[in-house]
Structure formats: C-alpha cells, structure tokens
Chain A
Amino acid sequence: MQTAISIETIRKDFPILQRKVRDNKSLVYLDNASTSQKPIQVIDAINNYYKNQNANIHRAVYALAEEATEAYEKTREKIAKFLNIQNREEIIFVRGTTEAINLVAYSWGRQNIIKDDIIVTTEYEHHSNIVPWQLLAKEKGAKLEYIGIDDNGELILDHLDSYLATGKVKLVTFSQMSNVLGTITNTDEIIKRCKKAGVKTLIDGAQSVPHMKVDLSKLGCDFFAFSAHKMLGPTGVGVLWVRKEVLETMQPFHGGGDMIREVHKYETTWNDLPYKFEAGTPNIADVIGFSAAIDYLNKIGMDNIRNHEIELTKYALDKMSKVKGITIYGTNDITKRGGVISFNFHDVHPHDVATIIDKDGVAIRSGHHCAQVLMERLDVAATNRASFYVYNTKQEVDALIGSLNKVAELFKL
C-alpha cells in the first residue's frame, strides 16, 4: 500500500471497532456509505462542549457563550478551508444532506421554478435528491426528468444534452458519487454543459466529500450539500453551500430566532448570511464535534484516504468476483468508483445474506439504499452493499468473503 498512514493506529482511535458483536465476534463494519464510525477525538469534543462550554451561541455576552460561539464558528472556517470555499457566509449549517436539498427546493425552487420548467436529476440518486424535486414539480406544474445510467452504472450524458436542448431546464441536480454503485460522476463535464446552457447545478456530496478531495472553487456548481455523519462526524449536522450571488437572492427557509435582524408586528428584516438560513438554536455540540472530524480527516489527508479505499476496493472486487453465484453492480474502472460495492446472489434476497453474515459480525447493508429508482433500473428489489472507509482492512474484506462463501454454500449456489 502506497499510503503513508497506519491503519492499525487509526483503528485504535475508534472505540467501537474494538467491540464484539453477536457470539463474541469481532465487529467488521462495512456500512460506511450509510454512516461512518466516530473517532474518540470527535466523541471527546462533543463531551467537552457539554461538560465545559455549554451555552447558546450568537447572543449572550458571558464567557461560556463566547467560547461556544467561537467553537461553533471555527467549524465554519474549517469547512471553508477543507473545501476551498472563499466566502464563509456561503456555508449554512443544516441537519444533513436531506435538509440541505430540501432547503434549496423550498427556498430557491419555489422562487424560481414555474410551470413547464424542467428539473433534471439522475437514475442513481438517493431519495433525498428525488422526493424534494417531485414535491416542487407537483406544486409548480414543472417536470422532473432523469439522466439514465448505462450497464456500467455511469450516467448517459446524451440524456442531459437532450434535456438541455429544450431550453426549459432550470436545475440539474446529481450526486458526485452514487451511494449504491459507487460511481464517481463526471461532475466537470456536467457542470460545463450546464453552464453553457445557463442552468444551475446542485451536487449531492454526501458520498464524495468523506472519501475524496473536493474543491468547490474549482467545481463551479451553484449548490453543494453533504453530511457530517458519513465523514467521522456526528449525526444531525450537515452543510449546504450556495454560491453567494445565488444565496443573496434566496428567501429564508425557516423563520425564527437568529435568522432575523428586526422583528415588528407585521414585518421582519433578515439577518446577514449565513444566519438568515440558520433559524433557531442550531446543533451546537455536533457542529463542534464535526470540527474535530475535519481535523482528523486533515491529519490523515484526503488523498491518502482515497488511495487506501482504491486499494481496498480493488482487492475486494477481485475476491468477491470469485464467490459462487455473485453479481456485482457498477463499473470495474477503479478510477471511476468509490469504496462502495453492491452485489446480489442470484435470487437470494439481500436480507437473507445480511442476516447470515451478521452472525459472523460482518455488518453490511441490505435493501434498496433509499434508491428505489435505481433498483427499478437494475430490475432488482434490493441489493447487498459493502462500503469501506479509512479504518477498514484487507483482513476485514477476507472476513466478508468468508461469510459470503457460507451464503453460497447454504443456498447451494
């Protein structure tokens, strides 16, 4: 492995990886696309806030409130640096990717989408990048269209061209990495074509930001959403980034405290960006925990993480393809694939597979992965999915393979 990192040292930072499950089996956690585990540094940061700094932010003048505010706002600075964002006021804290996308649909969408407009998404989106647009389209009489995928699990960009050619597209929204197939989207090409057509773009970065270097100054999209909990951080925190020129035109999402400048009986003026979009007491503790997660990722280095996962995914794809009766979905081109492997055994239902290998302490996901549109496209009810992160090892892949062989044997494949 060409990484300069020691996985064994990293693993020691994750208390949960030391525990045993079921019949005293070592935990093999391979459901990272769903949520990642948390290092002790993140857990300690949250603990420390509640033990020593707990106070509401942005208002009170006493010491605790100042400390809490500073810690909270420092996370924003760190995110700006982490993703190469020039303006910190473009960073809005939300509950997660889902809320971020809903915010855009509600605020920007309701202002800008009108009857017969087209919103374009893709066949490999998570429900969180489909349902908010369905709601909006129904409300406005607009249309939702899909960029299809080919048999390698890659987007067919000709579809995008034909939608753009109608001149009716207002937004193209897509994930940078599929949560089922692991496909890394050809983001640059999509944005290039959309820009040429004067169309806004939204990127769902929930799967990409945790696993590869992302540079928002270079990308050139208009909206970008991701979640802390898939990148070693706590649940309940996410980020919506919006290009300033766009954000400045947007009406608020939630009304309430902190998002106002002045409130009178019948009129209110809004607070500055980004606070205009952060109504109510935010999830202070977990934002501070998120800060520790970014420190941790920076310490390892995003390129090292990506390289480790490439190595692991290659190893796993090679071994898994030799398991009897298995079908693996998505591309074999590792440069176009993140550490996500979806697979099926003939007609054995994924829930049976997951239950059987759970007895060995191996945790994978089975189901539709909140991507039923993609399941329809693949013509399956569900898939099994193993997904890796920086703390996973080849030994764990071996454990997965061992358990999968048991499934093949049990179902006489």
Chain B
Amino acid sequence: MTGDPIYTEMIIEYSKHPSNFGEIENPDISRHDSNPLCGDSIDLQIKINDNKVSDVKFKGKGCSICMACTSVLTEMIKGKDLNDIKKIEKDDVLGELGLQHLIRTSPVRIKCALLSLKALKYGIYSYFVEKMNDEKSAGNLKEEATNLY
C-alpha cells in the first residue's frame, strides 16, 4: 500500500495512539458531533483559562482519519488563545497530515477529517455566545462550522 497517500505511518500511528484522548472534569466547552454516514462520533472537551485553552481532551469512536485529525487539532490548540484558534482553517489541519488532497479526491472521507474542526468551531461559538454573552467574539464561527464540508 505504499502508493496510498492516505494511510501514512503517521495516520496509522495516531489511530492506534491518539493524542489527548480522554475526558476533562467540568469542561468549559463540551461538544459532541457525529458523522451520520459512517458513524464517526467524538466528544470534544476544553478547559478555558484566561481566554486560553488550558486543557483539551476528546473521546469517541472513529476511523483513523478522524482519530488522526482530531489528535492533531487538539495538539494545535493546547495553550493557544481562543482568538487565534478561531482562525484555524481546513488546510491547517489537513496539512499537518498531508491530507489536503482529500478535499479533491474524497468528498466522503473529508467529513471524517474535518469532524473535529467542525465540533471545535461550534464549541467555541457556544462558549462565547452562551457562557460569555459575547456575540462579537463568536463572529462567523457558526456559519464556518455549518459550511465546513
């Protein structure tokens, strides 16, 4: 399978040993999302301190693409300011794993890859709007999440 551009060592490694897998007590953001077509299902939990991600964990069942992309995303946001995290785009996640081609080659599997980013954007949106009463900071996050794929 050396010619397969999806199943790299890195993806298989992440799928076997995902990063930040688990649960957080009393998270500030808790978002569940799933992929009705293939049954990927994740719960993303984030602890916020001073507008920064002090901890992030996820649990769930999913394919290796979903597990790898979610792992990478959690690594990317840990310790970061929410205003920076808001700017994360598809290619930032896909690029980390060399999966940018999925947008072009696999309209089905792109949903696995971006499920966690969608959950993250929704989660931060809810956090700003519902917890912080701050519609302005929430910006377009909800639309971005809805239109992600």
Chain A residues near B12 (CB, 8 Å)?
410-412
Chain A residues near B67 (CB, 8 Å)?
349
Contact with B along A363-380 (1 / 0, CB 8 A): 000111000100100000
Q: Is the CB of A349 within 8 A of B41?
A: no
Chain B residues near A359 (CB, 8 Å)?
1, 3-4
- In the assembled complex, the CB of B1 is this many whole angstroms from the nearest CB of chain A, namely 5
From B7, B16, B61, residue with most partner A Cβ within 10 Å:
B7
A381 and B61 CA atoms in complex are apart in Å by 7
Contact with A along B30-51 (1 / 0, CB 8 A): 0000000111110000000000
A70 at the interface (CB under 8 A from B): no
A261 at the interface (CB under 8 A from B): no
Q: Is the CB of A367 within 8 A of B1?
A: no
B-side interface mostly: loop
Chain A residues near B7 (CB, 8 Å)?
352, 356, 410
A382 at the interface (CB under 8 A from B): yes
Query: Contact residue range for chain B?
Result: 20 to 34
Q: Is the CB of B37 within 8 A of A367?
A: yes
A351 at the interface (CB under 8 A from B): yes
A79 at the interface (CB under 8 A from B): no
Given contacts A348-B64, A349-B62, A406-B1, contact A355 B37 (CB under 8 A): no
Q: Is the CB of A356 within 8 A of B1?
A: yes
B65 at the interface (CB under 8 A from A): yes
- In the assembled complex, the CB of A170 is this many whole angstroms from the nearest CB of chain B, namely 31
A348 and B7 CA atoms in complex are apart in Å by 12
Q: Is the CB of A351 within 8 A of B38?
A: yes
A352 and B6 CA atoms in complex are apart in Å by 9
B112 at the interface (CB under 8 A from A): yes
A236 and B7 CA atoms in complex are apart in Å by 37
Chain B residues near A406 (CB, 8 Å)?
1
Q: Is the CB of A351 within 8 A of B4?
A: no
| B37 (CB) vs chain A CBs: closest residue | A367
A375 and B16 CA atoms in complex are apart in Å by 22
A115 and B45 CA atoms in complex are apart in Å by 42
Chain A residues near B63 (CB, 8 Å)?
349-352
Interface residues of B in 42-95 (CB under 8 A from A): 61-67
Q: Is the CB of B112 within 8 A of A351?
A: yes
B109 at the interface (CB under 8 A from A): yes
A352 and B12 CA atoms in complex are apart in Å by 10
A147 and B139 CA atoms in complex are apart in Å by 49
Chain A residues near B61 (CB, 8 Å)?
349, 381
Contact with B along A322-344 (1 / 0, CB 8 A): 00000000000000000000000
| A360 (CB) vs chain B CBs: closest residue | B1
A349 and B1 CA atoms in complex are apart in Å by 17
A411 and B63 CA atoms in complex are apart in Å by 12
A367 and B67 CA atoms in complex are apart in Å by 16
Chain B residues near A368 (CB, 8 Å)?
39
Chain A residues near B37 (CB, 8 Å)?
367
- In the assembled complex, the CB of A200 is this many whole angstroms from the nearest CB of chain B, namely 32
| A411 (CB) vs chain B CBs: closest residue | B12
Q: Is the CB of A381 within 8 A of B1?
A: no
Given contacts A348-B64, A352-B7, A381-B61, contact A366 B1 (CB under 8 A): no
A409 and B2 CA atoms in complex are apart in Å by 12
- In the assembled complex, the CB of A337 is this many whole angstroms from the nearest CB of chain B, namely 24
| A403 (CB) vs chain B CBs: closest residue | B1
A62 and B8 CA atoms in complex are apart in Å by 65
A348 and B16 CA atoms in complex are apart in Å by 9
Partner of B4, one of A349, A350, A356, A411: A356
Sorted nearest first, the 5 A-B pairs with minimum C-beta distance are A349-B63, A381-B61, A351-B63, A382-B39, A381-B39
Interface residues of B (CB under 8 A from A): 1, 3-4, 6-7, 12, 15-16, 37-41, 61-67, 106, 109, 112
Q: Can you list 18 A-B contacts with CB-CB less than 8 angstroms, sorted by A residue number? A: A348-B64, A349-B15, A349-B40, A349-B61, A349-B64, A349-B66, A351-B65, A351-B112, A352-B65, A355-B109, A356-B4, A356-B7, A368-B39, A381-B40, A381-B41, A410-B1, A410-B7, A411-B12
